[in-house]
Structure 1
Amino acid sequence: MARVRFIGPEPVTVPELGGRELSPDEITEVPDARYEGYVCQPGTWEPVEEPREPEPAAAPAAVKKTAAKPRRED
């Protein structure tokens, strides 16, 4: 999760954070997907810790197949 600092002049209740009340200069965690929605308001929020880069998905394991045996015709 990313972290932002509330820099508003008075306490505020943030419904997106479960109705939590934040005081001026308080740092809080926000969902990575919503980070930009906070820091785009520079008069209210200040970035502290940006979202982490998503880890690349592991490639699916290759399925090993055995070669078909050639038919012997006698």
Structure 2
Amino acid sequence: MARVRYLGPEPVTVPELGRAVEPDEVIEVPDDRFAGYVCQPVNWEAVEEPRQQEEEAAPLPLRKAAAKPQKEG
């Protein structure tokens, strides 16, 4: 789970949580919903990013093509 902080000036109801979130409160959100919060930088800031995104950001090792067998003869 990722974590975000609410930056707004007054409490806001977050239907996903089924409750109100207070100003400066840190909440946990599902990793797949993290981008939906932090794309609103006026209202939310990232506290802890999803682990899944960090793993995806790592470069993948390059794969080398198998050598073609040489024909004898």
Q: Which runs of 5+ in 1 are unaligned?
A: 56-74
1:16 is matched with 16
Percent identity, aligned pairs only?
A: 72
Q: Which residue is 2:31 aligned to?
A: 32
Question: Over aligned residues, Cα RMSD in angstroms?
Answer: 1.4
Residue 20 of structure 1, CA deviation: 1.4
Structure of greater Rg: 1
Give the TM-score normalised by the residue count of structure 2: 0.69
Structure 1 segments, 4+ long, off by >3 Å, are none
Distance 1:20 1:6 in 2: 13
Structure richer in helix, relative to its length: 2
SS of 2:5's partner is strand
TM-score, normalising length: structure 1: 0.68
SS in 2 for 1:16: coil
Query: How many residue pairs end up in the alignment?
Result: 54
* 1:22-46 superposed Cα distances (whole Å, 9 cap, x missing partner): 1100000000000000000000000
